[in-house]
Chains A and B, each alone.
Chain A
Amino acid sequence: MTPQLAVFFVLAAIAVLGAASLILQKHPIHSALSLIVVMVALAGLYLLLGAEFVAAVQIIVYGGAIMVLFIFVIMLLNAGVEEHTSISKMAGPPGLLLTVALAGFIAASLVRSTSTVQSTMQSGQIASTRDLSSMLFKDFVYPFELTSFLILVAVLGAIVLAHRERN
């Protein structure tokens, strides 16, 4: 059990427990906190994979901005504990089984494909931000500009949607 494997298992356990807690909690704020835990665990996994810039961006953008947006909305709408509705209880266990089958199918097909992927990376190599940014601004400059336009549209849309009508 190398230290890397041990760290992987710890972070993976935290991520899975966080995701399970997202499902099992009754109050949406607790679900949001569990999702933040999942995101921080995933940032740790990205660091383990050598993607340090992506890990930092994950915490800053996802954990520090998007989830704060979720928590603001939950606070502003005064979301309470989930009501218990009487939807069919029979759909529970088959749904669970089907989801497990879906996850298993995804895992199996991806694992089968990794054997055909050539592994050229040396272990423990860290992706440098310099290479990442030169690739982003040279090969991917068109999607980059499009995403900046997308964010502008999203900001305008959010303002228009949340604006209270003045009569």
Chain B
Amino acid sequence: MVPTNYYIVLSAILFGLGVLAFVFKRNVITIFMSIELMLNAVNLAFVAFSQATGKLDGQIFVLFVIVVAAAEAAVGLGIIILIARNRKSLNVERVDLLKL
């Protein structure tokens, strides 16, 4: 039986790596993927707590997080496609001014 603390530490490590990727990468799609990584880390914490307390609320919430992440990915990638068409580049540093 793996102690819950191990899962929590793993979740925090994954969240930290997600933040690192978010801050250090230039490609807008990779930044978006780091957001998904952070959401996954949080899901792991939820399921670990759900197993520790014996209630199923954590797993229900994980299902909702997955659904919301799917909706967000769809709309966000649509926006990224538009940005790429307009600015002709996927580098976030080129997208930091309102002027084209």
List chain A positions with a Cβ less than 8 A from chain B: 2, 4-5, 8, 12, 15-16, 19-20, 22-23, 28, 31-32, 35, 38-39, 42, 45-46, 48-51, 53-54, 57-58, 61-62, 65-66, 69-70, 73-74, 76-77, 79, 82-83, 85, 87, 92, 95-96, 99-100, 102-104, 106-107, 110-111, 114, 117-121, 123-125, 127, 131-132, 135-136, 140, 143, 147, 150-151, 153-155, 157-158, 160-162
Residue tally, chain B, CB below 8 Å to A: 71
A106-B15, A110-B45, A114-B5 known; A19+B75 contact, CB < 8 A: no
What distance in Å separates the Cβ of A110 from its nearest Cβ neighbour in chain B? 5
Q: Does B52 belong to the interface (CB within 8 Å)?
A: yes
A46–B47 Cα gap in the complex (Å)?
7
Contacts A99-B20, A114-B52, A127-B59 aside, 20 further interface pairs with beta carbons under 8 A come to A8-B2, A12-B10, A19-B18, A20-B17, A31-B30, A42-B43, A62-B36, A69-B77, A73-B80, A77-B84, A79-B27, A92-B24, A95-B24, A102-B16, A107-B8, A119-B52, A123-B1, A125-B54, A150-B68, A154-B72
